């Protein structure tokens, strides 16, 4: 499965990098990239990895609904594009890694904001693009997943 994991990661990057760049410059996430990426990753998950449709669809719903709940609690401060992007990202990472990715992305976003605020570049009401942090968080979690799983397995003993 090594080659398939690499293909899966490259497919993820082919859509996530443009999504992050567009979000940085335009503060929006293009639906074309998100929905096309979902189709590509879903196809790979169903026909190469899982051979079932239920697990990837469940992961997508959990990812999207998680960010929708965040969007509701923040009164729309998180954009709807980020919510749609959450469907795609959770499809890539799976549910356990999705929550780690979200935590890591939030931590990076907070650090970025604090440093920008301290440097005088950001104000309290400044909007920052969240997609790049989500992308890095998911990619980092995916790369570290074997170490995270081994670590959690060792905690049980």
CA distances to 30, 62, 129, 131, 132 from 81, rounded to whole Å, are 8, 16, 10, 9, 12
Of 87, 82, 4, 13, nearest to 47 by C-alpha is 4
Identify the pLDDT of residue 146. 64
Identify the pLDDT of residue 157. 42
**Predicted confidence (pLDDT) at residue 155 exceeds the cutoff of 60:** no
Identify the pLDDT of residue 19. 98
pLDDT tens figures, 79-120: 999 999 999 999 999 988 999 999 999 999 999 999 999 999
Name the DSSP class of 149.
Answer: H
Identify the pLDDT of residue 35. 97
Residue 102 CB contacts under 8 Å (≥ 6 apart), including other chains: 66, 67, 134, 137
Give the DSSP letter string of 11-25.
Answer: HHHHHHHHHHHHHHH
CA–CA distance, 63 with 26 (Å, rounded to integer): 23
Q: How many CB atoms lie within 10 A of CB 20?
A: 22
Q: How many domains does the chain have?
A: 1
63-72, 103-112, 125-134, 141-150: which has the minimum mean pLDDT? 141-150
Q: Which structural domain, as residue segments, surrounds residue 69?
A: 2-156
pLDDT tens figures, 13-23: 999 999 999 99
pLDDT tens figures, 45-72: 999 887 889 999 999 999 999 999 999 9
Assess contact for 131 and 80: CB atoms under 8 A: no
Tokens 């401060």 — which residue?
A: 77
């Amino acid at each position: 499965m090594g080659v398939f994991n690499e293909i899966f990661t490259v497919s993820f990057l082919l859509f996530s990098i443009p999504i992050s760049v567009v979000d940085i410059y335009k503060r929006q996430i293009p639906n074309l990239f998100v929905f096309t990426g979902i189709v590509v990753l879903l196809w790979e998950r169903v026909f190469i990895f899982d051979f079932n449709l239920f697990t990837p669809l469940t992961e997508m719903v959990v990812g999207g609904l998680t960010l929708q709940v965040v969007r509701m609690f923040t009164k729309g401060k998180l954009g709807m594009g980020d919510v749609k992007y959450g469907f795609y990202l959770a499809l890539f990472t799976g549910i356990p890694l999705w929550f780690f990715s979200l935590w890591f992305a939030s931590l990076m976003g907070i650090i970025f904001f604090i440093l920008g605020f301290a440097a005088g570049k950001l104000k309290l009401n400044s909007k920052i693009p969240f997609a790049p942090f989500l992308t890095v968080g998911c990619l980092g979690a995916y790369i570290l997943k074997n170490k995270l799983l081994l670590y959690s397995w060792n905690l049980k003993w």
